[in-house]
């Protein structure tokens, strides 16, 4: 069985500084995988490299066995990978409903069509309604997305991310900046909507990570120092050292 996502010796330099220093990672279909690590470890960079936002310096990223090198974000998306952003990234002037409906368009095969009316497609509208229901935003469907609360925007962001029906979902700190109750809400949501899909997430909140992930990778200074089940990782001495070290450094 090919891995959903396979990363081999991935490297990225900005100028002289090497941020990602040879990452190898294999994520199997249906797996829920979390990447953790101290601040500045390169988690977001790794994310952006996988999704084609930045070009890599060296190495291979393969989605279902296909190399992603040189592919534009929209091409990667069409191959079945969808992502969310750390900073909320929605269409603020469009209504919530429109946000979701737009994210369904490509996967429903509408492409650059100018002979279909979006309002006339039952499948499209019902699909959008279904997602709204999943993310529990039906009541807000007709207001501009920019006017939603922060937690609602995060929920919408996840809704947009999963709407396209991609089987590999990547979430970049989905609970960043949230209160406890909001975090619980988002966690349930994520568990719900990624049922049967491959999930890759970067997360700070250890509660979320250990509650959701099947496997965890720890990224420190651009290298993965450990990969395994939550229990394995928790017991790993290098991980403890890295986190302890970071904590000590922070004290200075």
Partner 1 sequence: MTDTTHNTHSDVLAGSGLTLAKALPWLIASAFLLVMPFVFTSNSAITIMNQMAITIIFALSYNMLLGQGGMLSFGHAVYMGVGGFLCVHIMNWDQFFGTLPLPVLPIFGGLFGMGLALIVGSFSTRRAGTVFAMISLGVGELIAACSVIIVVFFGGEEGISGDRTYGLPFFGIEFLQQIEVYYLTAFWLVLSALGMFLFSRTPVGRMANAVRDNPERAEFLGYSARWVRFYSFVASGFFAGIAGGLFAINYEILTEENLNLATSGSILLVTFLGGVGFFFGPVIGAIVFTLLQTVLSLQTELWALYVGALFVATVMFFPGGLAGVLMMHTPPLVLGKLHLLVKPYIKTLLPAAICILATAGFIEILFHARHAAIGDDQMTLFWMTFSHANPVPWIAFGAVALGGFWLARRNAPELVETWHEANTDTGARP
Binding to partner 1 by CB under 8 A, coded x per residue (else -) over 153-192, reads -------x---x----------------------------
Closest approach, Cβ 232 to partner 1, in A, equals 32
Query: What's the burial of 90, exposed, middle or buried (CB within 10 Å: 0-12/13-18/19+)?
Result: buried
Q: How far apart are CA 26 and CA 157, in angstroms?
A: 26
- Residue among 15, 39, 139, 196 that touches partner 1 (CB under 8 A): 139
- Residue among 8, 86, 116, 136 that touches partner 1 (CB under 8 A): 116
- Residue among 45, 77, 183, 217 that touches partner 1 (CB under 8 A): 77
Instruction: Output the CA torsion sign for 227, 231, 232, 234.
Output: positive
Q: How far apart are CA 238 and CA 149, in angstroms?
A: 40
- Residue among 13, 57, 125, 236 that touches partner 1 (CB under 8 A): 125
Decide if residue 141 touches partner 1 (CB under 8 A): yes
- C-beta separation of 200 from 27 below 8 A: yes
Please say which residue, 26 or 138, places its beta carbon nearer to partner 1. 138
Angle at 231 between CA 225 and CA 233, to 5 degrees: 10
Q: Specify the residue for token string 């750390």.
A: 86
Q: Which two tokens stand for residue 65?
A: 């066995």
Q: What count of other Cβ atoms lies within 10 Å of the Cβ of residue 236?
A: 17
- Residue among 14, 66, 67, 92 that touches partner 1 (CB under 8 A): 92
Residues making contact with partner 1 (CB under 8 A): 51, 72-74, 77-78, 82-83, 85, 89-94, 98, 101-103, 105-107, 110-122, 125-126, 129, 138-139, 141-142, 160, 164
């Amino acid at each position: 069985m090919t891995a959903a996502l396979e990363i081999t010796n991935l490297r990225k330099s900005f100028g002289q500084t090497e941020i990602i220093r040879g990452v190898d990672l294999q994520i199997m279909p249906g797996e829920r995988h979390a990447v953790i690590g101290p601040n500045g470890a390169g988690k977001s960079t790794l994310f952006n490299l996988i999704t084609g936002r930045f070009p890599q310096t060296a190495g291979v990223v393969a989605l279902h066995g296909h190399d992603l090198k040189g592919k534009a974000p929209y091409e990667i998306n069409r191959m079945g990978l969808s992502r969310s952003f750390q900073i909320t990234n929605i269409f603020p002037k469009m209504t919530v409903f429109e946000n979701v409906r737009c994210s369904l368009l490509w996967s429903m095969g509408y492409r650059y069509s100018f002979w279909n009316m979006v309002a006339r497609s039952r499948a499209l509208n019902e699909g959008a309604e279904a997602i709204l229901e999943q993310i529990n935003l039906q009541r807000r469907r007709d207001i501009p997305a920019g006017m939603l609360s922060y937690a609602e925007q995060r929920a919408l962001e996840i809704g947009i991310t999963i709407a396209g029906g991609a089987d590999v979902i990547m979430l970049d700190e989905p609970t960043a900046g949230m209160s406890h109750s909001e975090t619980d809400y988002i966690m349930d949501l994520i568990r719900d909507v990624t049922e049967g899909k491959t999930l890759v997430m970067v997360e700070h909140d250890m509660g979320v990570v250990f509650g959701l992930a099947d496997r965890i990778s720890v990224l420190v200074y651009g290298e993965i120092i450990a990969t395994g089940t939550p229990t394995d990782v928790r017991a790993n001495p290098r991980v403890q050292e890295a986190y302890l070290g970071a904590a000590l450094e922070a004290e200075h």
